[in-house]
Structure 1
């Protein structure tokens, strides 16, 4: 999935909060060797708005080309970058800047910038905090990419769901989507994901209501995972998984893991 404006602005906000830097901005990188700066917080003017940055040029362009962070203390006298964009940077009153690429599957999806107006050097702590903001966005985008890939596979599988092999894979994808749903922070995407999961189960209202984590646990039990493996997938402890499974089995009137899965399918909770 492409980075959207809200995600980018949220990442810039996180960077400013965690670094304490007064200026934060970012651009979305596409398939071309250019990116356009679109998200700004703490800016004094519009000099950088809409600026098209070419890979290899300036600070952000260098980060885009090298796929690694680049720092310029005293930007205007830095000898390690080109100075194609000095005028808008000077108009904004920025002295030192860090540019951090957001890299997912070896492709730069965006570049986050943090700027300092004072004549001071960016500390290691500040640079590390900027890196963390970029890593958080990378993780979000990676999860969304996984979801989109599973949804595409699911659309293909549903066309042949009555045959044995696609039906089994469909159940696997359902379990994977249940796990990914717990990692999604975007409410619209989570809503789409939940709707797709529900479309794979019985269309009649379920006779048993399981809590989301109980359903996640049973869906992974259906794939043959152990409690330890389920705990690892969901980011929980094995004891917590046991508790969810025990509560689910009670609600499903099941005395074994197999029976829990069977009853959940009969109740329209699993595909």
Structure 2
């Protein structure tokens, strides 16, 4: 799949960044928070809460420049108690930072695969030492975002690997691979906290089913719950109840319960029949 198509499938990381920034501002009880994504090796400041001017909007921070550039380069949290007089950083951005009246600043990178993908900032307009509560809030936020971006990267990798048609041969992708990715997308959906991303992952799995079968789940009156579809997608791969329970982090009896419910809805009497009918109805690829 082309980069353009993949970018359309991926929810905007900036939305997740903005949401996490609001959450962190509340937990850390820091008056000014801002953040930006890393693009082409440079940090682009784009999200702000509590600022009084527009001086920092659109600032691009290269590695090693200023506090954020140092956090970006070292891939670890960095803090200064008095930005204007700090000797541990360069002063490329004194005008917008001091123009905002900021003195004590904390910068925490969101590290994925050893590289910073975003940086979160907390700041106050007086000279202080950041306490454990504030630092921990930002570190936890960065960890959550790193996990979220890791999931999104994996989805992009899987979708790019699949495509609906290969770019060179224009031949259909392998049916088995589609079914495996369908199950993995549904498993990934349950592992993320972002409701929007969960919905997006499940919508992608539905698209895979529709593309392979030629009909949409909306074309049938049978409606399977999210969990019933999750379980059946692994049954379709030949997984045992114990294996499905492990992959979905539920008990084996729970798997049996979902499977019984699914068979009742599909009016079948075996796992194999359930998969066969679900595929005919466009509920599975």
TM-score when normalising by structure 1? 0.86
Gaps of 5+ in 1: none
Q: How does 1:1-271 map to 2 (within 5 A)?
A: 4-32=13-41, 34-156=42-164, 160-161=171-172, 166-182=174-190, 183=192, 185-186=195-196, 189-190=200-201, 193-197=204-208, 198-203=210-215, 205-206=219-220, 208-271=222-285
The number of aligned residues is 267
Cα distance, 1:207 vs structure 2: 5.4
Q: Please tell me the root mean square deviation across aligned C-alpha atoms, in Å.
A: 2.6
Q: Secondary structure at the match of 2:43?
A: strand
d(CA) in 1 for partners of 2:180 and 2:18? 35
Contact 2:206 2:283 in 1 (8 A): no
Residues 129-148 of structure 1 show CA distances to partners (whole Å, capped at 9, x for unaligned) of 10111122222222222222
SS at match of 1:200: helix
Cα displacement string for residues 68-107 of structure 1 (whole angstroms, at most 9, x for unaligned residues):
1112223333332222222322221222111111122233
- For each residue in 1:4-38, what CA deviation from the matched residue of structure 2 results, as whole angstroms up to 9, or x when unmatched? 43232222212212211111111211123x22211
- Residue 54 of structure 1 and its aligned partner are, at CA, apart by 1.6
Cα displacement (A) at 1:118: 3.3
Instruction: Summarize the Cα distance change of 1:174–1:194 in structure 2 as closer, same or farther, 3 Å threshold.
Output: closer
Q: What residue in structure 1 maps to residue 4 of structure 2?
A: none
Q: Secondary structure of the equivalent of 1:99?
A: strand
Moved more, 48-57 or 232-241: 232-241
Once the two structures are superposed, what CA deviation does each residue of 1:29-65 show, in whole Å capped at 9, x if it has no partner? 1123x22211111101122122221201211101100
Counterpart residue number, 2:3: none
| Alignment CA distance shift 1:110-1:241 (3 Å) | same
Task: Return the alpha-carbon distance in structure 2 between the equivalents of residues 238 and 72 of structure 1.
Answer: 52
Alpha-carbon distance change, 144 to 185 in structure 1, aligned in 2, over 3 angstroms? farther
- 3-state SS of 2:184 partner: helix
- Pairwise CA distance, 1:247: 0.9
TM-score by length of 2: 0.82
Unmatched tracts of structure 2, length 5 or more: 1-6
